[in-house]
Chain A
């Protein structure tokens, strides 16, 4: 019998959900509480009992409903992120021994899916013939893009995914959650689970919507809590609709939250608590920082026996907690011999605070000196006219590489004074020269109209 944090997801619905709580996208809304008596899978739960199930849908809401229904029933759930290239499917299905596929794609046929049973998923519910039961712990598998582009299968349990969420606590009155993330990625899944287990409504984005349309819809639902990556937020703040929402809580995760975006959000949403969380698919949710400052307090490190223990080895943050993934399916070990997961995120101590400076795999070498593009972007992003920036290496015959920056500036009407492009550039260069050693100062700045943000909401660092 699974209890407390181990109880299946659907078992929490009857107690947590207020009847008014809805999961809503641009075209449909479903009360998760209804899933105690109804099914989004045509009631075909027995066909999926103890099976390994791939959830691959166009509509993230359909995936979310399937997760609620199948936790505790399926042996294993593999959650496909949006836009997963079909070319990776055979390897994923073989590694995860997939027996059935939940799909809302009419074109999925048996031939293309290796003979696995197709179970249509939908936002239209049908009554369940028998009372829902199922207590077996389900393996949850999330996909992350590896450096080669081939997805890695990261194994979690509901318990590891919900370790940072207090279950069964009364929902805050009038709370409505939303997220720029897709709920099939770790950052979005956290918000989905928070909403389902907390009994609050959740407003989901739709791929057909612009950021402005999504913000307008979120505003229409009086969203109070909203999350995204710093890149999501930079893009949102570029929208004239940004001011339409009035959240009480703004959350950032998935990328380094630099002081520029934290200050930008504080200015845009003076009534909101702005928190940046450190979390990754592999390392789970480690901590949240709510003081409005970049980085995190130095005393977070080395707290032995804490729910989340953190240490720094060779500059990178390592985490041990019951929220980390169990491991990679069919991949290298995730944890070191002491149970710590290497996040690959490099930190640097300045005074009583640690700051994220980049990734172990993203270092640029300028004449033998290492630079993390993120630390330079953090300086550029603090200029009041800058919305977002990307710093990258440019090949150089003298030093191997130099840094160049592509910068998106705010529209003139958003800033107080009309400043010329040349003036902005020279102010940014001056700020970089003042705050960074010479080799970290970009040799050239280019003003661009936009920068690519990936489906996962992160700045695209590699050129296509």
Chain B
């Protein structure tokens, strides 16, 4: 609830990034994984997160944001860094449409 409330007053980029960070942290906690600081240049493959963790993150973000850029994009190159991951969500055409709702 807090995240949604903040999202209404924050700029789009910050709100998306915050939402993604929150899901990474939540899933890492649930799956008992150690997560380094989520800097933009963090290499995702070097994280302790496995494919199931990413599957969960994507599913939960779809619940929260209303879209899943992996399923929408026709040619998906899986993001390499955490920054790529955030960019991928921000670049999704659905992001603008859903950010206010």
Contact stretch, chosen from A49-57, A83-91, A392-400: A392-400
Partner of A396, one of B31, B58, B63, B76: B58
Residue pair A399, B51 in contact (C-beta under 8 Å): yes
List of B residues within 8 angstroms of A398 by Cβ: 51-52, 54-55, 58, 70
Residue pair A367, B55 in contact (C-beta under 8 Å): yes
Question: B100 in the interface, Cβ–Cβ < 8 Å?
Answer: no
Residue with the greatest number of chain A CB neighbours at <10 A, chosen from B52, B68, B70? B52
With both chains docked as a complex, state the minimum distance between the C-beta of A338 and any C-beta of chain B, in angstroms: 41
Chain A residue total in the interface (Cβ 8 A): 16
Chain A 411-450 interface 0/1 with B at a Cβ cutoff of 8 Å (1 = within): 0000000000000000001000100001100011000000
Question: B30 in the interface, Cβ–Cβ < 8 Å?
Answer: yes
Question: B17 in the interface, Cβ–Cβ < 8 Å?
Answer: no
Residue pair A402, B63 in contact (C-beta under 8 Å): no
Question: A211 in the interface, Cβ–Cβ < 8 Å?
Answer: no
List of B residues within 8 angstroms of A402 by Cβ: 52, 55-56, 59
Instruction: Name the CB-closest residue of B to A397.
Output: B70
Residue pair A439, B52 in contact (C-beta under 8 Å): yes
CA distance A444 to B59 in the complex (A): 8
With both chains docked as a complex, state the minimum distance between the C-beta of A438 and any C-beta of chain B, in angstroms: 6
Residue pair B30, A396 in contact (C-beta under 8 Å): no
With both chains docked as a complex, state the minimum distance between the C-beta of B82 and any C-beta of chain A, in angstroms: 16
Residue pair B68, A397 in contact (C-beta under 8 Å): yes
Question: A246 in the interface, Cβ–Cβ < 8 Å?
Answer: no
With both chains docked as a complex, state the minimum distance between the C-beta of A365 and any C-beta of chain B, in angstroms: 12
CA distance A397 to B62 in the complex (A): 11
CA distance A367 to B51 in the complex (A): 8
List of A residues within 8 angstroms of B76 by Cβ: 397
Residue pair B71, A438 in contact (C-beta under 8 Å): no
Instruction: Name the CB-closest residue of A to B68.
Output: A397
CA distance A365 to B18 in the complex (A): 31
Chain B interface main SS type: helix
Chain B 59-101 interface 0/1 with A at a Cβ cutoff of 8 Å (1 = within): 1100100001011000010000000000000000000000000
List of A residues within 8 angstroms of B52 by Cβ: 366-367, 398-399, 402, 438-439
Instruction: Name the CB-closest residue of B to A401.
Output: B55
List of B residues within 8 angstroms of A367 by Cβ: 51-52, 55
Residue pair A443, B31 in contact (C-beta under 8 Å): no
List of A residues within 8 angstroms of B59 by Cβ: 394, 396, 402, 404, 443-444
CA distance A439 to B31 in the complex (A): 10
List of B residues within 8 angstroms of A395 by Cβ: 71
Residue pair B63, A444 in contact (C-beta under 8 Å): yes
CA distance A398 to B50 in the complex (A): 10
Residue with the greatest number of chain A CB neighbours at <10 A, chosen from B55, B60, B71? B55
24 contacts between A and B (CB under 8 A): A366-B52, A367-B51, A367-B52, A367-B55, A394-B59, A396-B58, A397-B58, A397-B68, A397-B70, A397-B71, A397-B76, A398-B54, A398-B58, A398-B70, A399-B51, A399-B52, A402-B55, A402-B56, A402-B59, A429-B30, A438-B52, A439-B52, A443-B55, A443-B56
Q: Which A residues form the contact surface with B (CB < 8 A)?
A: 366-367, 394-399, 402, 404, 429, 433, 438-439, 443-444
In the A-B complex, the 5 residue pairs with the smallest Cβ-Cβ separation, listed nearest first, are A397-B70, A398-B55, A399-B55, A443-B59, A443-B56
Besides the contacts A443-B56, A443-B59, A444-B63, what 5 more A-B pairs have beta carbons closer than 8 Å?
A397-B70, A398-B54, A399-B55, A402-B59, A429-B30
